[in-house]
Chain A
């Protein structure tokens, strides 16, 4: 018999791969601290109002990212697939809102006081509400049909197949929008209530910051929708079925839950959220064109992964975090603004290296563990 070789004690057996992580972490931390030192200690050229302004900016954009990220996370939790076409669902919501605003601006409701007034200016709040409802509805419908046509038949296929199908759907929707609505960039003509450029003046640290009304609106609505979603998932029956299907599909169906219907509902809800995010994007940023959903889609996916895929609070956190990093990062680290995406991705990679399941951890089916 062979004698048992004495293996070296584990502590001493470091191979290259295990060393890589701590080294990487130390280097990264050192760089960050060094840059922060430069900005905060050495240069010190920005007052507190400035940072607050940046933080507000970051939160606003973060809110939108969170909404889209929740959509990604919902779908991933249930189907374990990356819905690459989610950004395009948001784009469709943006277009739907755009057309509502155009119609509202075109149709006049003559009153005694002002015979030329159009709906948008006569009933601004109603117009905005309708824009959101229509946007969410059409985006939800898109999500529903997307699932039905491109994903449902592939539910049993290995993971790569629905991914390519999703990519195909994304490309198809982008180009359909481009051809249908022309590649020209269009502007959102907001009702005067929500005119871009107007805002609330806050007095902070001795100077006034103008917080745009569209921004406030976007942020508050994002929070409301997220809270609403959380309640839906935790308190309602539909939410319970969603959680059940996400946890264990076969058992859920054995328990009498209609799995197909639940999955469809998930897509509808995630689509609705993306649609709302799209209309918000249009109102706040003002531009709509066929490619508008692509980059936010990728960023939102990054945010979802950052927070922990499958984890709804994680997606919210990830979105806000990403928004803040994009906004505050370049200036705080004294890095060119052009590299803000680099900063975001590097932070993502670092976080995933040390917490491979995201900040708040992933929430996935037990059978996969």
Chain B
């Protein structure tokens, strides 16, 4: 492994960082970032206002240091890293300076940049230039050159032997101590600690919802619903290896079932929530059977587009004029009644949160049992190698369909709770994005890993609700996050302890089903 990165690499890094900065300014993100820094210093900034100039300076410095750090690669040679930092800093500075020049020219020539780039205004450009006008360009050059060098040197220092040794000794002494303590403890103490931990967790889960207000209950409830859905989709995608992009259809089945049998509109049925859930699960399973039977022979990516199509078909049908008398059409179904638990109706969000927690508990329990059962092993066999699985006597169709049905059932449950909680559901609630979000949660969180799915749901559904400052940029960051997560941690935030794939690439062809057409494909 090469310890020294060629200068060309640092030039590249510098230019890339420069482009990132330019992009951020064009989308107005520098204001938000500076606002966040300002908040960290305790100074709040009103919506729409520009923070103080020094926070832009801090932002520049932070960014420059990060750039310098990246530029130094894995280098620990001081003089080399000085050069790298200089090169990358200069290149970032040059890119930014060119941008500054271009933009100031455009603004001064009177072009109405704002109608094409609405997030970019004269004020914001001034702010970016630290309020220095033309001199800001030189300021940028200087800042980035210096911070590039500083960051690079700092990185080299951190990686140098002295610091590394220090952290190594810390780590080893910690490990020694913990080993010592562990060996001294009687085994049941550890067990008690584990049970105690779980009991504490349970207590927290039961008490917190009553304390932290309806907004948090709303967010956690949403996260929880997606956890249930995620686990269901995981059965289809993770346990049995069928790529499904139309999961929203089953979700919709559950939601609409509860809605239709539990609301005065449009059929004036008030059967209650629990019968509604039962109906929802049954209809989801039916939908899964209808979808699953014809498509047994399709492999991987064909399955993806067909399931995507299925999801869209369901959504369009729910919205259509043709079925409005049945489904309520684009207006959706509102005034869905709340559930009642042994006679007493749900009175607040807290009840829903408990319901969702209970749902998660059931789902997790079923998932674990399934995964460790004969069915689970059959699914694993199908996922790994369909031909071999068949050879060992696994009935492909039966198990694939079973996976689809069980996954659909979980979706039905999640959808039903979703509709009841919102007291409303409509066709736009069940778009392709729901399927994509659920899939992302599983993969970002970690396929086949329950804590991973919970973490993924929280990260992808909970965090955006929390980070209100960056509301406009929420989806932008979401998209970037997906890419970064796949590049950095492809096995997920909390990977399952069982390895997901034995081989690096899958044999995508469902050989057992394919009719040979002379053998070769040209």
Known A154-B490, A169-B483, A171-B482; judge A159-B506 contact (CB<8 A): yes
Within 8 A of B (CB), among A154-168: 154, 156-165, 167-168
In angstroms, Cα B308 to Cα A163, docked, is 14
Within 8 A of B (CB), among A68-122: 76, 80, 82, 99, 102
Within 8 A of A (CB), among B455-502: 472-473, 475-476, 478-483, 485-487, 490, 500-501
Query: Is there an interface contact between A301 and B480, defined as CB atoms closer than 8 Å?
Result: no
Can you name the residue of chain A whose Cβ is closest to the Cβ of B112?
A106
In angstroms, Cα B501 to Cα A156, docked, is 12
Q: Does any Cβ of A come within 8 Å of B310's Cβ? A: yes
In angstroms, Cα B398 to Cα A15, docked, is 10
Q: Which chain A residues lie closer than 8 Å to B302 at the CB level?
A: 305, 309, 352, 356
Query: Is there an interface contact between B439 and A164, defined as CB atoms closer than 8 Å?
Result: yes
Query: Is there an interface contact between A349 and B294, defined as CB atoms closer than 8 Å?
Result: yes
In angstroms, Cα B510 to Cα A369, docked, is 9
Query: Is there an interface contact between A338 and B479, defined as CB atoms closer than 8 Å?
Result: no
In angstroms, Cα B296 to Cα A16, docked, is 12
In angstroms, Cα B142 to Cα A170, docked, is 36
Q: Does any Cβ of A come within 8 Å of B41's Cβ? A: no
In angstroms, Cα B237 to Cα A102, docked, is 46
In angstroms, Cα B299 to Cα A339, docked, is 27
Q: Which chain A residues lie closer than 8 Å to B304 at the CB level?
A: 82
Can you name the residue of chain B whose Cβ is closest to the Cβ of A153?
B487
In angstroms, Cα B113 to Cα A102, docked, is 12
In angstroms, Cα B490 to Cα A20, docked, is 38
Report which of B293, B476, B483 forms a contact with A165, defined as CB distance below 8 A. Answer: B483
In angstroms, Cα B479 to Cα A80, docked, is 22
Within 8 A of A (CB), among B57-111: none
Least CB distance, A47 to chain B, in whole angstroms: 27
Question: Which of B298, B447, B519 has the most C-beta atoms of chain A within 10 angstroms of its own C-beta?
Answer: B298
Can you name the residue of chain A whose Cβ is closest to the Cβ of B515?
A356
Within 8 A of B (CB), among A128-164: 149-150, 153-154, 156-164
Q: Is the interface of B mostly helix, strand, loop or mixed?
A: helix
Q: Which chain B residues lie closer than 8 Å to A326 at the CB level?
A: none
In angstroms, Cα B23 to Cα A24, docked, is 52
Query: Is there an interface contact between B472 and A167, defined as CB atoms closer than 8 Å?
Result: no
Query: Is there an interface contact between B483 and A102, defined as CB atoms closer than 8 Å?
Result: no
Report which of B319, B490, B521 forms a contact with A364, defined as CB distance below 8 A. Answer: B521
Least CB distance, A299 to chain B, in whole angstroms: 10
Q: Does any Cβ of B come within 8 Å of A45's Cβ? A: no
Query: Is there an interface contact between A180 and B27, defined as CB atoms closer than 8 Å?
Result: yes
Query: Is there an interface contact between A302 and B309, defined as CB atoms closer than 8 Å?
Result: yes
Query: Is there an interface contact between A76 and B301, defined as CB atoms closer than 8 Å?
Result: yes
Within 8 A of B (CB), among A290-332: 298, 301-302, 305, 309
Known A158-B504, A369-B509; judge A179-B479 contact (CB<8 A): no
Query: Is there an interface contact between A353 and B443, defined as CB atoms closer than 8 Å?
Result: no
Query: Is there an interface contact between A160 and B447, defined as CB atoms closer than 8 Å?
Result: yes
Total chain A interface residues with beta-carbon distance under 8 A: 64
Q: Which chain A residues lie closer than 8 Å to B506 at the CB level?
A: 158-159
Known A336-B321, A339-B316; judge A348-B476 contact (CB<8 A): no
Q: Does any Cβ of A come within 8 Å of B507's Cβ? A: yes
Least CB distance, B339 to chain A, in whole angstroms: 33
Query: Is there an interface contact between A345 and B320, defined as CB atoms closer than 8 Å?
Result: no
Query: Is there an interface contact between B481 and A168, defined as CB atoms closer than 8 Å?
Result: yes
Query: Is there an interface contact between B447 and A179, defined as CB atoms closer than 8 Å?
Result: no
Query: Is there an interface contact between B439 and A369, defined as CB atoms closer than 8 Å?
Result: no
Q: Which chain B residues lie closer than 8 Å to A17 at the CB level?
A: 293, 296, 397, 401
Q: Which chain A residues lie closer than 8 Å to B126 at the CB level?
A: none
Q: Which chain A residues lie closer than 8 Å to B476 at the CB level?
A: 171-172, 175-176, 179
Query: Is there an interface contact between A368 and B473, defined as CB atoms closer than 8 Å?
Result: no
Q: Which chain B residues lie closer than 8 Å to A301 at the CB level?
A: 305
Least CB distance, A315 to chain B, in whole angstroms: 13
Can you name the residue of chain A whose Cβ is closest to the Cβ of B481?
A168
Query: Is there an interface contact between A99 and B116, defined as CB atoms closer than 8 Å?
Result: yes
Q: Which chain A residues lie closer than 8 Å to B294 at the CB level?
A: 20-21, 24, 349, 353
Query: Is there an interface contact between A164 and B300, defined as CB atoms closer than 8 Å?
Result: no
Report which of B312, B443, B472 forms a contact with A161, defined as CB distance below 8 A. Answer: B443
Q: Does any Cβ of A come within 8 Å of B295's Cβ? A: yes
Report which of B297, B511, B520 forms a contact with A356, defined as CB distance below 8 A. Answer: B297
Annotate B117-152 by CB proximity to A: 1 below 8 A, 0 otherwise: 111000000000000000000000000000000000
Query: Is there an interface contact between B298 and A368, defined as CB atoms closer than 8 Å?
Result: no
Q: Does any Cβ of A come within 8 Å of B522's Cβ? A: yes
Q: Which chain A residues lie closer than 8 Å to B482 at the CB level?
A: 164-165, 167-169, 171-172
Query: Is there an interface contact between A20 and B310, defined as CB atoms closer than 8 Å?
Result: no
Report which of B301, B317, B320, B480 forms a contact with A168, defined as CB distance below 8 A. Answer: B480
Question: Which of B23, B237, B243, B490 has the most C-beta atoms of chain A within 10 angstroms of its own C-beta?
Answer: B490
Q: A164-B482, A175-B479, A336-B322 are in contact. List 18 more A-B contacts (CB 8 A).
A: A76-B301, A80-B301, A80-B505, A153-B487, A156-B504, A156-B505, A158-B500, A161-B486, A171-B475, A173-B479, A175-B476, A182-B118, A341-B316, A342-B316, A349-B294, A361-B521, A363-B521, A364-B521
Chain B contacts to A: CB under 8 angstroms: 23, 26-28, 116-119, 237, 243, 293-302, 304-306, 308-310, 312-313, 316-317, 319-322, 397, 401, 432, 436, 439-440, 443-444, 447, 472-473, 475-476, 478-483, 485-487, 490, 500-501, 504-509, 511, 513-514, 517, 519-522
Listed A/B pairs (10) with beta-carbon separation below 8 Å: A102-B116, A159-B300, A161-B486, A180-B27, A338-B316, A345-B310, A348-B305, A352-B306, A363-B522, A369-B511
